Structure 1
């Protein structure tokens, strides 16, 4: 036996065993992969649920919900076409799927994430117009107009995403040949991409939702003033109002028609900040004595309910503020750290972030695609009922 050759064979065998051992993922990386996979699966599930609910429920066939559906489609693309490749990239710690797949993945990643953010701005514009110009905008708020808004959002997303992709296509850096990233150090280019993809939409969303809240607050104050004037006339004996706050019953047991809701309040209810109707008071018809007694007690209870009006209105305003706060807070928390990092890294030559931090900030932005279908639908009663029917496989109408 040739001893030198035998020694080389043993060394090669041991090396192959070491290579096999080194390919095993550490428990921390396995846990990370499972967690990220769960995020991708949940994002896919919830966005599919929203799309299906809008498609099969006739009551949800409204132009405002077309924007919600388009947002869900965009977030679904992020979950299906972006997240899985990112998980593999994080596992391997290098890009192993080739240059062509890298270019396609970056294209879909940048375009869909930008499109998701611009959808949020488009929804804010739609809601602002609906509450501040309800009568005129209700005539213009058609399916065709919603489709045009979606087309504009996608066009702007491609317009914002194209320059980074073209820049990467013409820059061949040997140092980063095993990575799938975009590197540039030009201030103008960084400002163009980050302002268009995030900072301008963020400013627009903040301004519009602030104006929406102030407009809703003004509407509630006007409604309370109207209630106060009717109550004043009623107590002076000069007039008995024909309508009362929703939920009041008539003296003879028949429910009164609810207080009319203005188009602005009806539009604002799309934010799902409306309160649940109070239980209607029904009075049974008995002898005249009982009826007279109940009439007196009912009048007292009606007055007490009126004095609860400002408290109820305040509750609605707090609910409106909390809903708007969730929408804005989720968007800012998920995307602001990533875009701040992008500005710093691409404008400061000596600044750098670790791969782990970069992955964390990227996935924090991806999580917004999971949160969007929850925030924009879960507080809406129509969507809740549609989801329940979907889960129970009930009949849709």
Structure 2
């Protein structure tokens, strides 16, 4: 994202240097860099198209929450198609060669789409927070129209954040930088306005909301485990008594067994049959009684093992939720924080500057978030996994 807070000299080169570049062959490092960035742009296009197609053709994914994911994928797709290719040409040529009209359009799309992508992440965090903390009430309000309204608000805020710097560039055009496509300003107000609105406020909101989501999920798991324990206690209370076992039938450690349910008496004890001798009937009935007792014992043991595995399962779920949230927040912070820290430092410190290579690297590190978003927001969802598998296998389904 070629953000509006760029310093003089970034991507700048003299006309004489540009003429010499046209007559010389690009070095291998420049070719390798161009190929690498092109691969990133292609992968970003592919994965975001995959997400959009999966949501469009899979009926099970037609949910208001996934509309925000689809809108995020559309925004990141615009970054891949309309922003990255021009940036690759800009880096390869080291000068803007496509005219000022195209430059204005590119800057507008760049700033707006990158800001919109970041604000989409905040909107998804708000939606998930409401869904987990007010599930019953929010499930009635969570409609397609409400999701569409959230998308419209996100795009409107992105335009409002991006428009003032673009207007400033239009009215303060500098003839000394005709071969560049940047926005040059030295006003603290623009720095605060653009960086706070496009990154720092959404970052703070995302951190707070995902922390609350994790705490709410933790509380929900604890309540479910308490509910399971209460149901297990009600199931066994009053119907269990300690059982005595012959030597060798107890547990391996020799400790007492848990109470077992009393098996109902076998029918053969009370209703003698005329088809068998009495001793045979007693022998068979005792054998059947022991078989049934063992079946009850195995069922009770299985029930107890499931009960005692509950906290372990809950712990694994909490770890999975924590790792998922960590990936979402970590990817966002790693991709965009260095760029915006650089913007604040460069535009508040008159003696500070960055090299062209560092500016390119930080810009593309932010673009990389558009490649990561469709992966981390869908890969942990089983419905998305199945939809991707069917799309890759070219299966036709509804």
Q: TM-score range by the shorter chain?
A: 0.7 to 0.9
1:337 pairs with 2:338 = yes
Give a deviation string over 1:315-366, Cα, whole Å, max 9, x none.
1001000000000000000000001111111122111100100000000000
- Larger of the two Rg values belongs to structure: 2
How far apart are residue 294 of structure 1 and its match? 2.6
1:286 match: secondary structure? helix
**For residues 395 and 34 of structure 1, what CA distance do their matches in structure 2 show?**
34
Contact 2:221 2:314 in 1 (8 A): yes
Give a deviation string over 1:73-94, Cα, whole Å, max 9, x none.
0000000000000000000011
Residues 18 and 214 from structure 1, CA distance in 2 versus in 1: closer, same or farther, beyond 3 angstroms? closer
**For residues 61 and 239 of structure 1, what CA distance do their matches in structure 2 show?**
48
How far apart are residue 173 of structure 1 and its match? 2.1
Give 5+ residue unaligned stretches, structure 2: none
Question: Counterpart in 1 of 2:187?
Answer: 186
Question: Counterpart in 2 of 1:213?
Answer: 214
Indicate the larger mover: 12-21 or 173-182: 12-21
How far apart are residue 182 of structure 1 and its match? 1.0
**For residues 34 and 56 of structure 1, what CA distance do their matches in structure 2 show?**
33
How far apart are residue 225 of structure 1 and its match? 1.1
Question: Counterpart in 2 of 1:293?
Answer: 294
Contact 1:127 1:268 in 2 (8 A): no
Give 5+ residue unaligned stretches, structure 1: none
Residues 41 and 297 from structure 1, CA distance in 2 versus in 1: closer, same or farther, beyond 3 angstroms? same
Question: Counterpart in 2 of 1:147?
Answer: 148
Question: Counterpart in 2 of 1:73?
Answer: 74
Contact 1:271 1:380 in 2 (8 A): no
How far apart are residue 201 of structure 1 and its match? 0.4
Residues 377 and 259 from structure 1, CA distance in 2 versus in 1: closer, same or farther, beyond 3 angstroms? farther
State the structure with bigger RCO (CA 8 A, min sep 6), 1 or 2.
Answer: 2
**For residues 280 and 75 of structure 2, what CA distance do their matches in structure 1 show?**
41
**For residues 267 and 286 of structure 2, what CA distance do their matches in structure 1 show?**
35
Contact 1:33 1:87 in 2 (8 A): yes
Indicate the larger mover: 339-348 or 235-244: 235-244
Indicate the larger mover: 357-366 or 254-263: 254-263
Residues 6 and 165 from structure 1, CA distance in 2 versus in 1: closer, same or farther, beyond 3 angstroms? closer
Contact 2:76 2:371 in 1 (8 A): yes
How many residues in Structure 1 have an aligned counterpart in Structure 2? 397
**For residues 75 and 317 of structure 2, what CA distance do their matches in structure 1 show?**
31
Residues 239 and 4 from structure 1, CA distance in 2 versus in 1: closer, same or farther, beyond 3 angstroms? closer
**For residues 6 and 330 of structure 1, what CA distance do their matches in structure 2 show?**
24
Indicate the larger mover: 243-252 or 116-125: 243-252
Residues 187 and 227 from structure 1, CA distance in 2 versus in 1: closer, same or farther, beyond 3 angstroms? same
Length-normalised TM-score, structure 1: 0.82
Contact 1:243 1:258 in 2 (8 A): no
How far apart are residue 40 of structure 1 and its match? 0.1
1:252 match: secondary structure? coil
